[in-house]
């Protein structure tokens, strides 16, 4: 299925999919409280830290991927099975829900992001606790190695003129002007600043048309056929750039899951500040 669906499509197919609420706030607000206050009818609450992340060393980042078995157990507990189609949303336009969409699609499951998220939903919303769905069978599948990049691979690609490493964080964090959560400020040397929010139409909060997104990635130095790696603070909002690339008809990009939180936790990894020109 398409990686994006709009509210009209979801309204017409509501009984055919599992809707998931994947909100998260870097400022410490409770996403469960936000869900309880208002969510799409029947939506399942997915916890980023509990359901979409696993344990790891500091250099694995703040939100390492869970083991395939742990991810399968979480999905099954939430009532999401092998044959279910999932539509995920948040209230930021995809900065968190894109992580679940990427995880599901990377392992061969049908999933899409609700374009525009909760603010784009024109119908009624519900309040209250998550629904009690019966457990489902969700088979553990390995994370595809071709879709992931290690720190060493990212370092080599960022230093190459024939690859693109894209930093999805806001520009001030990329430039090292501020760093609210991670050990050091700055970015991976050689990476280009590619804030994920720039994929969205500011008037609607929805993803820009495919041709506009393709032009954006070209302006960032991405060339056809070259390796591309996306990262952010902890491997979450970078998935929104991967969603945008697929929306643009571009494929083959990898995710550096540890992202800046993992990179900056390693004192042997260099940090750059300021702006860098995208490679020609």
- What is the Cα–Cα distance from 125 to 21, expressed in whole angstroms? 12
232 catalytic, yes or no?
A: yes
Q: What length is written for the chain? A: 280
Give the bridge partners for 114, in sequence order: 5
Give the closest residue to 38 by CA, choosing from 1, 91, 93: 91
- What is the Cα–Cα distance from 195 to 168, expressed in whole angstroms? 4
- Find the catalytic residue in 43, 157, 232, 238: 232
CB-neighbour burial class of residue 76 (10 A; exposed 0-12, middle 13-18, buried 19+): middle
- How are the residues of the chain apportioned to helix, strand and coil, as percentages rounded to the nearest 5? 30, 10, 55
CA dihedral of 42, 47, 52, 57, whole degrees rounded to 10: 180
- What is the Cα–Cα distance from 94 to 81, expressed in whole angstroms? 23
Give the residue numbers annotated as catalytic, written as ranges. 232
């Amino acid at each position: 299925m398409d990686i994006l669906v709009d509210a009209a499509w979801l309204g017409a197919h509501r009984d055919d999919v599992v809707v998931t609420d994947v909100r998260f706030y870097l400022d410490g607000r409770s996403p469960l409280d936000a869900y309880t206050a208002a969510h799409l009818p029947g939506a399942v609450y997915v916890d980023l830290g509990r359901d979409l992340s696993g344990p790891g060393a500091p250099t694995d980042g703040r939100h390492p991927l869970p083991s395939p078995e742990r991810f399968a157990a979480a999905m099954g507990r939430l009532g999401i099975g092998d044959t279910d189609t999932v539509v995920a949303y948040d209230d930021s336009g995809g900065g968190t829900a894109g992580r679940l969409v990427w995880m599901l699609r990377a392992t061969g499951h049908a999933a899409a992001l609700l374009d525009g998220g909760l603010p784009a939903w024109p119908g009624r919303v519900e309040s209250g606790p998550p629904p009690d769905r019966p457990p489902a069978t969700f088979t553990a599948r390995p994370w595809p190695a071709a879709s992931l990049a290690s720190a060493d691979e990212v370092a080599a690609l960022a230093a190459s003129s024939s690859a693109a490493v894209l930093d999805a964080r806001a520009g001030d964090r990329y430039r090292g002007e501020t760093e609210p959560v991670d050990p050091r400020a700055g970015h991976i040397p050689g990476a280009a600043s590619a804030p994920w929010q720039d994929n969205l139409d500011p008037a609607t909060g929805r993803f820009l048309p495919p041709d506009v997104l393709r032009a954006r990635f070209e302006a960032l130095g991405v060339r056809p056929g070259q390796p591309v790696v996306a990262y952010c603070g902890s491997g979450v909002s970078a998935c929104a750039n991967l969603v945008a690339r697929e929306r643009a008809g571009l494929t083959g990009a990898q995710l550096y899951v540890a992202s800046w939180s993992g990179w900056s936790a390693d004192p042997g990894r260099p940090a750059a500040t300021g702006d860098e020109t995208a490679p020609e």
